[in-house]
Structure 1
């Protein structure tokens, strides 16, 4: 079976929803940021500080190549910038979790914002969000509203995939 790939802005719920999909569909969840952190032995923030954003994007590109060659029947939750700098469509069926900016801000407490290197200035983050929306749309095969519970969104995604398989 093909992978389910979740894209969206940071804080849109990709990992949480991915976990729910994995539970519903007998798949494993792979979070690309967590894989990179484990492989590098550093947090995303520390990786950005040591190799810069361009170095981090190169690491993401290498991970995409590895995942595309080695992983099937998984849920892949991408980092927010991964589909902006890389083509993720060949990883599987791409679902964009489309969530409003204000909803994202409400979901991210100070600790969650601290983990994200690009979250420093809210006005710059808003600009980044606005710039990325069209890119997420272009990368996705499916657009799913992120303004429901994680379980409900996961159920919709699994139903969509199941319909295509039949």
Structure 2
């Protein structure tokens, strides 16, 4: 079994922030699936979606998952919001859902210091009804795939990491 920790959850929940902090704290490698895809394609996720569509992007996510399964171990991996759809997710490592309400996520993004950049990176939030609908569609799937769930609402990064470690090393 792979020793990777795979963070899934809705966009903006804090997967990348958590992974970077965990990696720094424990000296492990942190990989972000969207960053890997952007590097491979030499384009931003938003540009890939606009130019080639969602189906193509999902195929890139599957390629990324296949590479992780083949080549990566003992790493902390933050995944894009739709990465949970890859067919081999459970083979990549322990799947951890960072969970929060839609309202909390939206508020986190819109009140952050760099809120314009955070919201611009996630254009779906410019259409809150669509974003909330997508959140509701994904919530059950996330929970079904997760080995365990960490509620991140109103917690600092140290508490979130402590909660992850409690679940991992029980």
TM-score normalised per structure 2: 0.90
Q: Is the 8 A contact 1:99 1:145 kept in 2?
A: yes
Tell me if 1:24 matches 2:30.
no
Matched with 1:65 is 66
Q: Is the 8 A contact 2:7 2:79 kept in 1?
A: yes
Q: Is the 8 A contact 2:7 2:98 kept in 1?
A: yes
Distance 1:46 1:56 in 2: 10
Tell me if 1:130 matches 2:131.
no
**Structure 2 residue matching 1:94: 3-state secondary structure:** strand
Matched with 1:49 is 50
Matched with 2:157 is 150
CA 1:92–1:85 in structure 2 vs 1: closer, same or farther (change >3 Å)? Answer: closer
Matched with 1:10 is 11
Distance 1:91 1:128 in 2: 24
Matched with 1:141 is 147
Matched with 2:169 is 162
Matched with 2:36 is 35
Q: Is the 8 A contact 2:148 2:167 kept in 1?
A: no
TM-score normalised per structure 1: 0.92
Distance 2:44 2:38 in 1: 5
Distance 1:92 1:32 in 2: 14
- The alpha-carbon deviation at position 85 of structure 1 amounts to 4.9
**Structure 2 residue matching 1:118: 3-state secondary structure:** helix
- The alpha-carbon deviation at position 51 of structure 1 amounts to 1.0
**Structure 2 residue matching 1:11: 3-state secondary structure:** coil
- The alpha-carbon deviation at position 116 of structure 1 amounts to 2.1
CA 1:88–1:36 in structure 2 vs 1: closer, same or farther (change >3 Å)? Answer: same
**Structure 1 residue matching 2:167: 3-state secondary structure:** helix
**Structure 2 residue matching 1:95: 3-state secondary structure:** strand
